[in-house]
């Protein structure tokens, strides 16, 4: 037989595009359209419906950036259409290639009942099936003219990312507003041909199945009269029945399709717009669930559910019914799909506490899975947090974006720093916006790494980010792929149903130990410094507020601010979303975040001060409150007492220029350039700074990544560097040595100080930053031979190699730490602690002259200046505090990291304040002391082993205890946990390395 394959395939494409798809709507009449443009921010639905619109025609421009326009469409169904299916086709000016990234609409009936969302791939509204001739049609569309930020030429700087700079030029052209007859037979034929054509393209050329499909398609095309597609579509479908009914082979890969709409809680749009995106999508999905009995839809992020409940009660009622039917599924159990690298221990725990509790309270649903398809890598402390929240599974997809190394598994056990293992799945479809295309389904089957031992994978199916979720076309395709020869099989299932099957078929999967590092988007650890500082400060203020309010409640009857703390926690958790905290959102988002963090700090400071006043009482004694988890200055952790204010060490002139700071423990030499050329540990007789090198070295790199400006730093940035060694000023000051530098359009002012009795050099840095596409680092070349270093993560620390033996290690050229980085030789180490930075790099070189020792350089990432999506990223004044701690063991690193983030608070009062709880082991760190969330008055204490070793710790409780219960993160009894030893007001537990524990103490 002659090979005419290409001819038939080309014929299929043209006939589909030019004849069959247009015939889905064979007849149409125009609707009358009028519009009212809301003058400012979005208005309530009732106001939009009541507004008096002005006529507008198809072809007219509409929609200033970030504006809201209310369209009223009216018309009459022609008498000749009686008994047929009729839909309204409402095209606001969509680009079908950009679902989720442009204008969107929500359709209402005149009484305010929501109908469904309008999106680029979802422009229809069902009027009737069948309709009555002469039926009057009246619909209202709340249309958002969100500007396109990520355009066909991506990453170009734009002022459209903030309403204050976006201007008023209309963004869209009204394209189609019609009533049309919907021919379901033709629509079904389109899906038949799309599924077969897409499957055919994925099969091997030598496959008999491919040729069977080709001939069936050819026969179907022959049956179509191109001048009467609607009259001949049915007979064309008949000619495809046999090839569509051939069952899949028994060994076919099995895909669990989960209806999904990944909606970023903020990104290229502000938070307020996400509220509306979620309403549009949930309206779409509840309507689709009513039409499609096999379909299930899952939505994560309790915050987004709460937005629907609080802002769109008319949509919420439909959502609640669908949840009760088991078809609209809460998933993930987190407040938002947060970043997991940067949130602190308690914040990561509270993501699950608030997320799971919302779903329990609203629906009685408890999630067993964490759902994080788009998060930029996963910290090594996360597995035990997931387990401590009562969950056992994790789904993500983003690791497939890694640039260098292909992750070796799709289903595996992920082991965290304490040994906890979580059953984890990466969908091999490699997208969280699966549309059921044949190429996607075939890729999932081919790509699946665990063939031979497992055959199930998951496909999150639907357009995200306001694209409207799953479409009826996706459901139609999935129905054909349920059991089709040549394809993986597809069935709609909930995440829990998928995980149960996957775990059952793969009881002994491979294990991955440690962090799940994304080899991409590394600059998210640095971009938008003020957002990151606001997060860090808020986390620590919340710790203080809970600690002192709980202490005051127990000791004085102080009213514990449950509602206020709950609200603030949820606000902080929202801003840990994986495009807010990472600094990858538009200017509007980060401008609002800065203001939100200011308000949070003001409110939490008020709570802290009120609680401390209640505890201190009326008096004139000077008191210092210590909220850190370790004693300092003679004041116990969580207590208050009298303490002197130490005077910083006065600088002395240094021979050759510069100054010396010496407190008898540490002798620091700062040369005339303002660089630290020596940090000598007097007791250990050991130099910290590498020979011939200088610490406190600011380094400036060019920073223009190939893509994803705010997200990425590419390794070639290291090829060029400017050492900022010129100083405008190096002077002695009362607080230490003051250094001023100028470079480009920017200026840096530093104060280096040393306190009596402390082996800690404090570096306060202020940067007035006005650079573009530059990366500022602060370098510390250390005379330490270390093959690995420790960086703090949630509830412990994680070791990374300093070498680049393999591509896996080389790819980690920028990494995350929380409060400290620590490296050591046996018996002596160095810690570098910080109050607000996360990104860093560690490199090693061997000196070729002199002692041939090893220089290990730790560099802190301070600031970047990408121009997309916020062209003014990080411009302005920033303040950072770091401390270099020579001679530090890992315990010192832990303690100093907390100390720099939780400075003492001073007030006057009548008496010292004893701690509510104390721990007898320095290795055990208390991360939270609070009252129970249920309002019972029980005291909840959370702590973990922080040094990486086993320990036996005793908590001394400063009040009469009636009962002690080991709980999960949600403060529920943990049945499998060993009972602690309780003797009076002392509770003793054994902890494995990095183990997290929560105790609930009922007061007598």
Q: Annotated active-site positions, please?
A: 374
Distance between CA 1002 and CA 616 in Å, rounded? 25
Block residue for tokens 């002391």: 929
Cβ atoms within 10 Å of 76's Cβ, excluding its own:
14
Instruction: Identify the CA nearest to 73 among candidates 183, 182, 176.
Output: 176
- On the 0-12 / 13-18 / 19+ scale of CB atoms within 10 A, 554 is buried
Residues 887, 889, 891, 897, CA torsion sign: positive
Q: What is the CA radius of gyration of the chain?
A: 31
Task: Using alpha carbons, select from 263, 355, 281, 869 the residue that is nearest to residue 578.
Answer: 263
User: Strand 722-724 to strand 876-886: parallel, antiparallel, or no bridges (unpaired)?
Assistant: unpaired
Which helix H or strand E contains 857, and what residues bound it? strand 854-864
Interstrand relation of 393-395 and 369-371 (parallel, antiparallel or unpaired): parallel
CB atoms within 10 A of CB 903: 13
Q: Tokens in use for 185?
A: 């037979």
Q: Which residue has the tokens 């947090």?
A: 385
What is the phi/psi pair of residue 924, to 5°? -100, 120
- Please, what is the Cα angle at 540 between 648 and 533, to 5 degrees? 80
C-beta of residue 765 within 8 angstroms of C-beta of residue 756: no
Of 220, 222, 200, the C-alpha closest to 211 is 200
Is the link from the previous residue into 130 a cis peptide, with omega within 30 of 0? Answer: yes
Q: For the residues of 239-284, what is the DSSP string, one character each?
A: TTHHHHHPPPPTT--EEEEEE-----SSSSS-HHHHHHHHHHHHHH
Name, in order, each residue with C-beta under 8 angstroms of 451's C-beta and a sequence gap of 6 or more: none
DSSP 580-611: TTTS-S-HHHHHHHHHHHHHHHHHHHHHHHHH
240 CB-near residues (< 8 Å, 6+ apart): 192, 193, 196, 216, 217, 220
Helix axes 271-291, 302-311, angle to 10 degrees: 90
CA angle 360-364-365, nearest 5°?
Answer: 75
CA-to-CA distance for 277 and 271, rounded, in angstroms?
A: 10
Helix (H) or strand (E) holding 815: strand 815-816
C-alpha span between 386 and 463 (Å, rounded): 27
In the chain the first and final C-alpha atoms are separated, in Å, by 91
- Quote the tokens at residue 922: 């320095």
Here the tokens at position 88 are 């309204």
**DSSP β-ladder status, 369-371 and 176-181:** unpaired
Query: Cβ distance 1002 to 961 under 8 Å?
Result: yes
Q: How far apart are CA 172 and CA 71, in angstroms?
A: 14
Task: Locate 14 and state its tokens.
Answer: 């043209």
Residue 91, preceding peptide bond in cis (omega within 30° of 0):
no
């Amino acid at each position: 037989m002659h090979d005419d394959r290409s001819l038939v395939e080309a014929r299929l494409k043209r006939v589909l595009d030019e004849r069959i798809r247009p015939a889905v709507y064979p007849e149409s009449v125009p609707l009358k359209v009028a519009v009212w443009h809301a003058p400012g921010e979005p208005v309530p639905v009732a106001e939009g419906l009541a507004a008096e619109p002005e006529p507008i025609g198809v072809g007219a421009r509409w929609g200033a950036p970030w504006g809201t326009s209310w369209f009223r469409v009216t018309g009459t169904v022609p008498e000749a259409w009686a008994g047929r299916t009729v839909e309204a086709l409402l095209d606001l000016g969509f680009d079908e290639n950009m679902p989720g990234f442009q204008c969107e609409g929500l359709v209402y009936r005149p009484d305010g009942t929501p109908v469904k969302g309008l999106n680029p791939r979802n422009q229809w509204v069902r009027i009737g099936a069948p309709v009555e001739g002469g039926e009057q049609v009246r619909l209202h569309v709340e249309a958002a003219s969100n500007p396109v930020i990520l355009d066909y030429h991506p990453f170009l700087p734009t002022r459209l990312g903030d309403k204050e700079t976006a201007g008023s030029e209309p963004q869209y052209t009204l394209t189609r507003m019609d009533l049309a007859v919907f021919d379901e037979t033709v629509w079904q034929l389109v899906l038949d041909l799309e599924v077969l054509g897409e499957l055919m393209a994925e099969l091997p050329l030598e496959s008999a199945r491919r040729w069977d499909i080709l001939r069936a398609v050819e026969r179907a095309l022959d049956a179509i009269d191109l001048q009467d597609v609607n009259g001949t579509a049915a007979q064309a479908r008949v000619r495809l029945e046999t090839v569509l009914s051939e069952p899949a082979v028994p060994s076919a890969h099995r895909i669990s399709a989960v209806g999904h709409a990944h909606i970023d809680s903020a990104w290229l749009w502000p938070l307020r717009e996400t509220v509306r995106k979620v309403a549009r999508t949930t309206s779409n999905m509840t309507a689709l669930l009513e039409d499609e009995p096999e379909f299930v839809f899952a939505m994560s992020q309790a915050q987004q559910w709460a937005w629907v409940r609080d802002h769109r009660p008319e949509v919420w009622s439909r959502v609640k019914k669908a949840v009760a039917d088991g078809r609209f599924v809460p998933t993930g159990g987190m407040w938002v799909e947060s970043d997991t690298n940067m949130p602190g221990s308690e914040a990561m725990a509270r993501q699950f506490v608030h997320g799971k509790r919302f779903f329990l309270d609203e629906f009685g649903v408890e999630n067993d899975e964490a759902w994080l398809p788009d998060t930029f890598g996963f910290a090594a402390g996360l597995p035990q947090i997931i387990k401590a929240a009562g969950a056992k599974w994790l789904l993500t997809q983003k690791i497939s974006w890694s640039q260098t190394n292909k992750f070796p598994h799709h289903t595996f056990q992920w082991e965290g720093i304490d040994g906890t293992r979580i059953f984890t799945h990466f969908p091999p479809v490699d997208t969280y916006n699966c549309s059921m295309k044949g190429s996607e389904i075939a890729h999932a089957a081919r790509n699946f790494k665990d063939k031979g031992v497992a055959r199930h994978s998951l496909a999150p199916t639907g357009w995200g980010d306001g694209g409207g979720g799953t479409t009826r076309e996706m459901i139609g395709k999935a129905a054909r792929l349920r059991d089709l020869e040549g394809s993986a099989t597809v069935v709609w299932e909930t995440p829990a149903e998928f995980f149960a099957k996957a775990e059952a078929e793969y009881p002994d999967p491979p294990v991955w130990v440690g962090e799940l590092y994304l080899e991409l988007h590394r600059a998210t650890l640095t971009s938008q410094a003020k957002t990151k500082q606001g997060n860090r400060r808020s986390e620590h203020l919340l710790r203080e507020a809970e600690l002192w309010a709980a202490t005051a409640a127990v000791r004085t009857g102080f009213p514990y601010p449950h509602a206020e703390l709950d609200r603030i926690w949820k606000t902080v958790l929202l801003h840990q979303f994986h495009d807010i905290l990472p600094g990858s959102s538009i200017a509007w988002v980060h401008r609002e975040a800065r203001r939100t963090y200011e308000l949070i700090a003001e409110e939490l400071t008020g709570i802290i001060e009120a609680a401390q006043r209640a505890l201190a009482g009326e008096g004139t004694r000077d008191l210092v409150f210590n909220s850190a988890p370790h004693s300092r200055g003679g004041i116990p952790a969580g207590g208050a007492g009298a303490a002197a204010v130490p005077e910083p060490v006065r600088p002395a002139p240094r021979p050759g220029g510069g100054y010396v700071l010496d407190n008898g423990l540490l002798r620091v030499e700062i040369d005339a350039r303002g660089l630290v050329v020596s940090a000598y540990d007097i007791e250990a007789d050991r130099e910290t700074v590498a020979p011939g090198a200088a610490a406190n070295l600011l380094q400036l790199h060019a920073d223009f990544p190939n893509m994803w400006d705010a997200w990425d730093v590419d390794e070639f940035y290291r090829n060029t560097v400017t050492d900022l060694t010129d100083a405008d000023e190096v002077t002695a000051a009362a607080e230490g040595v003051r250094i001023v530098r100028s470079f480009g359009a920017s200026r840096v002012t530093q104060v280096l100080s040393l306190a009596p009795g402390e082996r800690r050099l404090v570096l306060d840095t202020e940067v007035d930053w006005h650079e573009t596409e530059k990366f500022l680092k602060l370098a510390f070349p250390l005379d330490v031979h270390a093959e690995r270093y420790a960086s703090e993560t949630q509830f412990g620390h994680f070791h990374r190699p300093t070498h680049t033996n393999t591509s896996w290690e080389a790819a980690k050229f920028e990494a995350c730490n929380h409060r400290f980085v620590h490296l050591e030789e046996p018996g002596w180490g160095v810690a570098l602690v910080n109050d607000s930075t996360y990104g860093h790099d560690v490199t090693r070189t061997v000196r070729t002259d002199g002692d041939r020792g090893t220089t290990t350089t730790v560099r802190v990432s301070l600031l970047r200046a990408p121009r997309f999506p916020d062209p003014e990223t990080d411009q302005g004044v920033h303040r950072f505090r770091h401390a270099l701690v020579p001679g530090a063991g890992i315990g010192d690193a832990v303690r100093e990291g907390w100390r720099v983030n939780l400075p003492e608070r001073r007030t006057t009062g009548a008496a010292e304040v004893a701690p509510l709880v104390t721990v007898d082991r320095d290795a055990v760190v208390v991360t939270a002391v609070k009252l129970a969330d249920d309002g019972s008055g029980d005291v909840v204490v959370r702590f973990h082993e922080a040094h990486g070793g086993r320990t036996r710790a005793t908590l001394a409780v400063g009040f009469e205890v009636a009962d002690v219960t080991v709980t999960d993160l949600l403060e529920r009894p943990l049945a499998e946990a060993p009972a602690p030893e309780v003797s009076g007001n002392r509770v003793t537990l054994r902890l494995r390395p990095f183990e997290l524990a929560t105790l609930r103490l009922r007061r007598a």
